[in-house]
Structure 1
Amino acid sequence: MGLMLHHPALSTADLPWLHVFEAGFAHLGETFATPTEPTPLPAAYWVGCNDALREALGLPSDLWEQLEAMALFTGNLPLRDHPSYASVYSGHQFGQWAGQLGDGRALNLGALQTPIGLQELQLKGAGPTPFSRRGDGRAVLRSSIREFLASEAMHGLGIPTTRALCVTGSPAHVRREDIETAAVVTRVAPSFVRFGHFEHFSSNGQIDALRILADHVVTAHFPALQHKKGSERYVDLLHEVTQRTAVLMAQWQAVGFCHGVMNTDNMSVLGLTLDYGPYQYLDGFDANHICNHSDHQGRYAYARQPQIAYWNLFCLGQALMPLIDEQAPALAALEGYKQAFPAAMDQGMRHKLGLQGTHHGDRALVEDLLQAMQQDRVDYTVFWRRLSLAVRESANSTHAFAPVRDLFMHREVFDAWCKRYLERLGSSHRQAAGDAMLRTNPKYILRNHLGELAIRQAKQGNFAMVQELLHVLHAPFDEHPTHEAWAGLAPEWASSIEISCSS
């Protein structure tokens, strides 16, 4: 069934594929990274294995056959020469200052030199840390599968994200709302530094540590800024993070992704999608949709995500102020969001509509479409895929838009919008436009009910759907004829799935 090793530790020399393992963030010292050993789990077994990422990282083809690999990624095999560590951060949660937080259930193994650059490996669910705040430091099978699949779904969509290499499970019991079984997901990213890391040191008056952290981020991830001196370096860092965040928000909105808990400690300074908890991809379009059942005030509703990101960036800017001489340059860096997000959003929606060039009426065309979709709760992903097919086929068919029209109850509203759209689209190059739209508008997304079905099977010891979903979500624009049903409308029971911060 699995393996529970009792070695006190192993050296990376015993694992040849880790021969270029480095300390990563830990080299900054214990102010930033507290050495913490994982807590072993009994009878570990593979739940999900990501071969595409394994290959990209340059890891051996027989990795999943190695008992040592399973033990390492479960937290059963600590490394003697590179101790795992947890990092401290603070943050704003649901708009309120929460004070010190930190890696409560995440342990960083270190950084691996790979063909795609330096990548940090992190175990989520490997036991308590000094920052667990009375928590058990564990993750459950349900939430681990959700993060594993969501990370790779976002990557398949071309949206910046942390990745997931594998999930291991254990029959060990974990108490959440009910008794569940434990699991560990191995996350991969160039860095897991969050807005909250900067907030922590700034709020505690640790200005030297704040500067060390900022300089580390610049050197490791924004090398073009290294020549900048004094406050200019940190203003430009804030500008870069602002720009990346603006683009990320536009990508989320365009694909219909709801994060669910956009606290400042869940925001990546690299502009990555970070921490998959109560996330959801929209089914029927509702701009006010709240995917997190713990979000009673709707702070993180779908339509509010861009505004919340802007608010979070101001928290980051405030944290960096001790390193910046004057307020005006910092405000100017943050104000760039007001141009960057709408520009990225407009461009993203033009791509979804297959429009070339710009036109002063494009934004109104999009807003009127979304209003019509909202009125009838039109399935967001199915609409865009059918529209893409209709545009491609309209060059040779006068009835190409009928399947799109069928999604609307107020069909006269769609007819009026479609007339405007086709005039803007033009009659030439329809097939090329449709082909481009099919490469922009996915056929497959990780709908809640698909994840739920995979989880139910996994709880019975069947992990086939986890692997099949992973395969499809890595190529969400392709047809995958054997999984056509996964591209259909969500069943009625999907609306009863509740996800919260414990998800």
Structure 2
Amino acid sequence: MPDPVLIHFNDALADELGLAHQVLGCEALIGMLAGNSAWPGYAPIASAYAGHQFGAWVPQLGDGRALLIAEIATPAGERREIQLKGSGPTPYSRGLDGRAVLRSSIREYLCSEAMHHLGVSTTRCLSLIGSSEPVQRETVETAAVVCRVSPSFVRFGSFEYFFHRRQNEQLATLAEHVIEEHYPHLIGLPDRYARWLTEVVERTARLMAQWQSLGFCHGVMNTDNFSVLGLTLDYGPYGFMDRFRQHHVCNHSDYEGRYAYSAQPQVGQWNCSRLLRACLPLLAEDTQAALEIGTGIFERYAPVYAQAMMRRWADKLGLFEARESDTELVNGLLSILQRGKNDFTRSFRHLSRLEALSDVPAAGIREEITDLEAFDAWIVDYRARLRSEQNTDDAARAERMNRVNPKYVLRNHLAQRAIEQAEQGDYAELAVLMSLFRRPYDEQPELESYAEEPPADQCSIEVSCSS
């Protein structure tokens, strides 16, 4: 990569990884983070995998623009893989350039860290390197490389790859590796594969609940973009909803809305079914017996998701306990937000200001609601629900709610502003956002404008699979 420039370095993550501060700005480090030189003592690796892309089976995929450049142990004794995205062609680039552009690299760099500080399971980013090298996408853009960090980048599609090639020995080897490195409590157990897959399914269900509760849409929920550790993986055309819409589609390449907001939980379950199918040879020698075990594991998804989702909705409403009847309360509020095209993040944040024992209208949220008659009726039910569990300490409840309802999320117009400035060589806005999203639940009065809805002319920013 010509003329590599260190645009941003994640000091906090570097500390967690045990990387010395002295290396910041070091030319040797920049060379490694750009992909121009190897990590000492490690040969770069690109992984093969397959996957279902928008529901269609693709037997040969792989790290077309990603290279694993190191495996390290953190000071806490945890294993981390360090991977470059955009460093050039790999054996799986399928004739393409293996590059990433500055636009998409900024989006991944920002969002992975924003998600981490929101408390969502995710891969993270250590650095962002820019270059003058031209890259052809919809237009000619400049190249960039992000350095991604994760306990593992193994995907559902990694197992599909071996299953569809009838390479059961390699399938077992990969499963043993994942268990030994990431599920060590299962090592040596006779039913370790079934227990491991159960944990993967349950982690995936809980991850979907995290996404839904924050209004986050992934955009490309292919099986090759799903992690066997239950992490948010591969940030492409993602988006946090501004106006609430059940069928919001954040990826304008998703013409049929397969990965719409409302579809994400079901897609997560379907992807788990593809992983389970690929791992049937591990569950039992007899096909019917394997199917019965796999079906039992598959059926864990729905109750785990439902429980995790209701707990998250209850937390967002400041409730101590989640009751079955709360489904009606949650759906009532979401219906009001949808009819009025109200902002998802702001509405839940404002709701913390409600007084449980007062008849005074709920300040903040009420000013932004369109269907006031329905909302005022809903507030009566909500106050009654709060009082039913003696939940009338408004200040304590507000504090709890503000720990789960973020003030700031990475809205598309915020990312776009940072991208446009960076394309002109100005990285100040990128730094502001990185600082802002380290504390997404805190009031940051000097940055209050970053919590506002997008301007009218920026509500329709579109992202695609090249984003």
Q: 1:13-52: per-residue Cα shift (whole Å, max 9, x none)?
A: xxxxxxxxxxxxxxxxxxxxxxxxxxxx111111121111
SS at match of 1:457: helix
Counterpart-to-counterpart distance in 1, 2:463 and 2:113: 19
Counterpart-to-counterpart distance in 2, 1:55 and 1:237: 31
Aligned-pair distance for 1:495?
Answer: 2.3
What amino acid maps onto 1:266 in structure 2? N
What are the ranges of 5 or more consecutive residues in structure 2 without an aligned counterpart?
none
Counterpart-to-counterpart distance in 2, 1:324 and 1:108: 30
1:475 correspondence with 2:439: yes
1:449 correspondence with 2:413: yes
1:310 correspondence with 2:269: yes
Aligned-pair distance for 1:324?
Answer: 1.4
Counterpart-to-counterpart distance in 2, 1:168 and 1:487: 28
Query: What does residue 381 of structure 1 align with?
Result: 345
Query: What does residue 440 of structure 1 align with?
Result: 404
Counterpart-to-counterpart distance in 1, 2:305 and 2:282: 26
Give the 5 Å matches for 1:162-311.
162-229=123-190, 232-311=191-270
What amino acid maps onto 1:213 in structure 2? L
Instruction: Name which of structure 1's ranges 232-241 and 447-456 shifts more when overlaid on structure 2.
Output: 232-241
Does the CA-based 8 Å contact 1:196-1:265 persist in structure 2? yes
Query: What does residue 9 of structure 2 align with?
Result: 49
Query: What does residue 423 of structure 1 align with?
Result: 384
Counterpart-to-counterpart distance in 2, 1:81 and 1:360: 55
Q: 1:423-460: per-residue Cα shift (whole Å, max 9, x none)?
A: 11125222111110011100000000000000001001
Aligned-pair distance for 1:79?
Answer: 3.7
TM-score by length of 2: 0.96
Aligned-pair distance for 1:396?
Answer: 9.1
SS at match of 2:322: coil
What amino acid maps onto 2:321 in structure 1? G
Aligned-pair distance for 1:358?
Answer: 3.1
Aligned-pair distance for 1:397?
Answer: 7.0
Correspondent of 1:414 among 375, 391, 395: 375
Counterpart-to-counterpart distance in 2, 1:89 and 1:165: 24
1:323 correspondence with 2:282: yes
Q: 1:86-141: per-residue Cα shift (whole Å, max 9, x none)?
A: 00000100001011100000000121111341110000000000101121100000
Query: What does residue 83 of structure 2 align with?
Result: 122
Does the CA-based 8 Å contact 1:353-1:437 persist in structure 2? yes
Query: What does residue 114 of structure 2 align with?
Result: 153
- Count of aligned residue pairs for this structure pair: 458
1:105 correspondence with 2:69: no
SS at match of 2:46: strand
Does the CA-based 8 Å contact 1:57-1:115 persist in structure 2? yes
Counterpart-to-counterpart distance in 2, 1:115 and 1:486: 35
Counterpart-to-counterpart distance in 2, 1:399 and 1:55: 48
Q: 1:147-176: per-residue Cα shift (whole Å, max 9, x none)?
A: 000000000100000000010000000000
Counterpart-to-counterpart distance in 1, 2:128 and 2:306: 37
Q: 1:397-429: per-residue Cα shift (whole Å, max 9, x none)?
A: 764613211221110110011110111112522
Counterpart-to-counterpart distance in 1, 2:318 and 2:339: 23
1:401 correspondence with 2:400: no
1:372 correspondence with 2:336: yes
What amino acid maps onto 2:16 in structure 1? A
Q: 1:47-81: per-residue Cα shift (whole Å, max 9, x none)?
A: 12111111111111233221111111001112463
What amino acid maps onto 1:446 in structure 2? L
Q: 1:209-249: per-residue Cα shift (whole Å, max 9, x none)?
A: 000000000111011111312xx221111101000000000
Does the CA-based 8 Å contact 1:282-1:380 persist in structure 2? yes
Does the CA-based 8 Å contact 1:395-1:431 persist in structure 2? no
Query: What does residue 343 of structure 1 align with?
Result: 307
Does the CA-based 8 Å contact 1:49-1:467 persist in structure 2? no
Instruction: Name which of structure 1's ranges 418-427 and 449-458 shifts more when overlaid on structure 2.
Output: 418-427
SS at match of 2:59: strand
Counterpart-to-counterpart distance in 1, 2:192 and 2:323: 37
What amino acid maps onto 2:63 in structure 1? D
What amino acid maps onto 1:349 in structure 2? W
Q: 1:336-390: per-residue Cα shift (whole Å, max 9, x none)?
A: 00100000000000000000123332111001111111111110011011112x1
What amino acid maps onto 1:243 in structure 2? E
TM-score by length of 1: 0.89
Counterpart-to-counterpart distance in 1, 2:405 and 2:23: 34
What amino acid maps onto 2:168 in structure 1? I
What amino acid maps onto 2:303 in structure 1? Q
Does the CA-based 8 Å contact 2:6-2:25 persist in structure 1? no
Correspondent of 1:484 among 448, 455, 460: 448
RMSD, aligned CA: 1.2
What amino acid maps onto 1:190 in structure 2? P
Counterpart-to-counterpart distance in 2, 1:397 and 1:312: 47
